[in-house]
């Protein structure tokens, strides 16, 4: 891939295909593995890391905080853990997390309860637009301070707490805020208790189970209680990262909507908190099978088999939302190409605070191809029409710093529309650096134009 920014034009309808692919490694697990490895005691070994801009941003910030990270070969790394409370940086060191909201929120939470740290947090244009009020409020409870006091957007200075004490926290739908609470609790005095009524992705909890004295989880009918025992010892670990189910979703969608096609995606993460998208597609008539399921350190993974399908309008209730938050841009695309009205129930506030306002931006894209989309509070109605005349429809996608908007628009291009996506590589490289290579292997054709 060239280092300079370039646009991609996708305008040729993809022909039938029957292929086997691997998708990029899981970003959520990759970032969490680096963070936990850095505060464990000993050397942690991580294989098949996602080598993307978001992960590199997190890695570079950890190095500025004194963590030694060694590359052992392609996608394989050793992390020389410093132990809880041992990260350090010179006063006012700038930590740039790029486009990574996960890296920002989770690294901030480690810093919050690590004594004697005063650093400046910043990111790219997109990350600087994301409201951090929930994170600030949470980390204030642990005693950390943010400056300027009235500001909720980056850049922000964080001053860690010298005497952090565990808290009790009611978790919402955001797995990042839940994970932030867990990480802050690790180096706080006493216990931190998290009550989770709606279960969000739990990769971090599974990693911490490697150190049984650190975390206790109790499941009941109405909620899930997570207890973090502060000031404990974190054991080093070894992990191999599976394929990212969110990255796989784009290729699942393309196969379902393409004519006479089939696809096998190998070694994809199948954590139940991450595969709501697959369940939604199955409920709509998608011909999807999961085979060869294995389990390592509590994380299931396996192969996904997909065939072209005649889908019914989608019904996405709130119980599915938290299990497919990242897939909503491609869910918009699928809904637009199905006869009938698809109804999506969402947490609008959460979706608007992603890399871009994904509800507004996807509505704009659908409007460009003549698809009606009505948004009212937390409900979205998409009036699908697979027969919309597409030869004269052109989709223009500006640089929103949002990889999922880019990839969703690209898929519309492969379904027969002309999609012109600005600064494609600088956006998509944040989480799916191999995206174009994979779609090319399926027979996709596209043009690259320098910006």
The catalytic site residues sit at 326
Q: H or E stretch including 13? A: none
Please count the residues of the chain. Answer: 451
Report how far residue 320's alpha carbon sits from residue 316's, in angstroms, rounded to the nearest whole number: 6
Query: 27-39 vs 101-112: helix axis angle to the nearest 10?
Result: 20
Which residues make Cβ contacts (< 8 Å) with residue 210, sequence separation at least 6? 235, 237, 297
Query: Can you say how many angstroms the Cα of residue 373 is from the centroid of all Cα atoms in its chain?
Result: 25
Residue with tokens 């429809």: 393
* 199 neighbors 242 (Cβ within 8 angstroms): no
Report how far residue 188's alpha carbon sits from residue 160's, in angstroms, rounded to the nearest whole number: 12
Kindly provide the b/e burial profile for residues 251-287, where b requires at least 16 CB atoms within 10 angstroms of the residue's own CB.
bbbbbbbbeebbbbbbbbbbbeebbbbbbbbeebebb
Alpha helices in 318-402 (DSSP H): 318-321, 328-336, 348-352, 358-368
Beta bridge partners of 44: 79
Alpha helices in 293-354 (DSSP H): 318-321, 328-336, 348-352
Q: CA nearest 49: which of 70, 67, 63?
A: 70
Region at 443 (left for phi over 0; alpha for psi -120 to 50; beta for the rest): left
* DSSP, residue by residue, 206-266: HHHTTSTTTEEEEE-SS-EEEEEETT-PPPP-EEE--B-HHHHHHHHHHHHHSSS-EEEEE
* 425 neighbors 1 (Cβ within 8 angstroms): yes
* 235 neighbors 211 (Cβ within 8 angstroms): yes
* 108 neighbors 139 (Cβ within 8 angstroms): yes
Contacts 24+ apart (CB under 8 A), 149-156: 153/128, 153/129, 154/104, 154/121, 154/122, 154/123, 154/127, 154/128, 154/130, 155/94, 155/120, 155/121, 155/122, 155/128, 156/120, 156/121, 156/122, 156/132
């Amino acid at each position: 891939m060239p280092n300079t920014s370039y646009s991609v034009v996708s305008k040729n309808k993809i022909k039938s295909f029957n292929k086997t692919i691997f998708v990029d490694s899981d970003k959520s697990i990759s970032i969490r593995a680096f963070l936990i490895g850095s505060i464990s005691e000993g050397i942690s070994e991580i294989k098949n890391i996602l080598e993307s801009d978001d992960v590199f941003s997190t890695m570079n910030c950890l190095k500025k905080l004194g963590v030694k990270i060694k590359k052992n070969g392609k996608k394989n790394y050793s992390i020389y853990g410093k132990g809880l409370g041992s990260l350090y940086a010179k006063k006012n060191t700038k930590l740039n997390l790029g486009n990574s909201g996960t890296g920002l929120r989770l690294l901030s939470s480690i810093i919050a309860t690590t004594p004697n740290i005063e650093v400046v947090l910043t990111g790219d244009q997109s990350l600087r637009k994301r409201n951090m009020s929930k994170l600030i409020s949470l980390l204030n409870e642990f005693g950390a301070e943010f400056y300027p006091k009235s500001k909720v957007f980056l850049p922000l200075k964080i001053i860690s707490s010298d005497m952090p004490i565990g808290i009790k926290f009611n978790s919402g739908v955001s797995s990042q805020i839940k994970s932030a609470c867990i990480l802050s609790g690790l180096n706080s005095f006493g216990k931190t208790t998290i009550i989770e009524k709606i279960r969000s992705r739990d990769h971090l909890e599974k990693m911490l189970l490697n150190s049984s004295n650190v975390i206790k989880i109790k499941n009941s009918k109405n909620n899930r209680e997570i207890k973090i025992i502060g000031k404990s010892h974190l054991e080093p670990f070894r992990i191999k990262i599976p394929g990212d189910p969110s990255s796989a979703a784009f290729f699942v969608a393309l196969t379902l909507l393409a004519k006479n096609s089939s696809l096998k995606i190998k070694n994809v993460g199948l954590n139940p908190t991450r595969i709501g998208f697959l369940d939604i597609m199955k409920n709509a008539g998608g011909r999807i099978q999961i085979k060869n399921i294995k389990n390592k350190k509590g994380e299931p993974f396996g192969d996904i088999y997909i065939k072209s399908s005649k889908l019914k309008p989608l019904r996405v209730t709130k119980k599915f939302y938290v299990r497919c938050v990242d897939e909503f841009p491609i869910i918009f695309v699928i809904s637009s190409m199905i006869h009938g009205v698809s109804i999506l129930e969402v947490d609008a506030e959460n979706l608007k605070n992603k890399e871009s306002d994904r509800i507004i931006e996807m509505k704009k894209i659908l409007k460009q191809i003549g698809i009606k989309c009505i948004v009212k509070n937390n409900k979205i109605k998409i009036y699908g029409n697979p027969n919309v005349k597409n030869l004269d429809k052109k989709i223009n996608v500006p640089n929103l710093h949002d990889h999922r908007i880019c990839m969703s628009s690209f898929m519309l291009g492969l379904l027969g529309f002309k999609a012109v996506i600005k600064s494609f590589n600088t956006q998509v490289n944040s989480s799916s650096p191999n995206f174009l290579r994979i779609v090319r292997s399926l027979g996709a054709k596209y043009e690259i134009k320098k910006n």
